[in-house]
Amino acid sequence: MYALFIVLNEVDYLEDILSGFLENEVSGATILDSQGMGSAIANSNNSDIPFFSSLRMLIGDSHPYSKTIFTVLKDESMVDKAVGVVQEVMGDIEGNGLGFMFSVPIANVYPIQKD
């Protein structure tokens, strides 16, 4: 089993990615609101520290908030399908900082059920 994490800075593509997941039998994803460290620092009230002011000018409001999607997948072929969906949706978009993905192997999954 694998966990796939997607940090999506271009949140306008979230619905297209989720639709692609459903079409490829990728289900059970969890979506969290998230914010990168640089954005958090740039948007803080630390204007008296010169470094933070410079960082604020560099970052601006380009991607103040993100979505982090994660899902547990049965095997590497499902990871490849999910990654393919994201690459298909985001592939023709130019620019840096659109987001990133990574997967990690999982030893065990423990469902929590009420008796």
Q: Count CB atoms within 10 A of the CB of residue 26.
A: 20
Strand partners, 68: 7, 32
Is residue 91 situated within a structural domain?
A: yes
Is residue 71 situated within a structural domain?
A: yes
Q: What is the mean pLDDT of residues 21-25?
A: 95
Is residue 84 situated within a structural domain?
A: yes
Distances (CA, A) of 30 to 7, 10, 107: 12, 17, 19
Biggest alpha carbon–alpha carbon distance for the chain: 56
Q: What is the CATH number of the domain that holds 92?
A: 3.30.70.120
Using DSSP, state whether 27 is helix, strand or coil. Answer: coil
Inter-residue contact 15 to 50 (CB < 8 Å) = no
Among 72, 78, 77, smallest CA distance to 108 is for 72
Domain that holds residue 81: 2-35+65-105
**Predicted TM-score (pTM) above 0.85:** no
Is residue 115 situated within a structural domain?
A: no
10 phi and psi angles, rounded to 5 deg: -95, 85
pLDDT, one tens digit per residue, over 32-87 is 999 877 666 666 665 555 555 555 555 455 556 899 999 999 999 999 999 999 99
Is residue 49 situated within a structural domain?
A: no
Is residue 50 situated within a structural domain?
A: no
pLDDT, one tens digit per residue, over 33-46 is 998 776 666 666 65
The count of structural domains within the chain is: 1
Is residue 18 situated within a structural domain?
A: yes
E strand or H helix at 5: strand 2-8
Inter-residue contact 89 to 30 (CB < 8 Å) = no
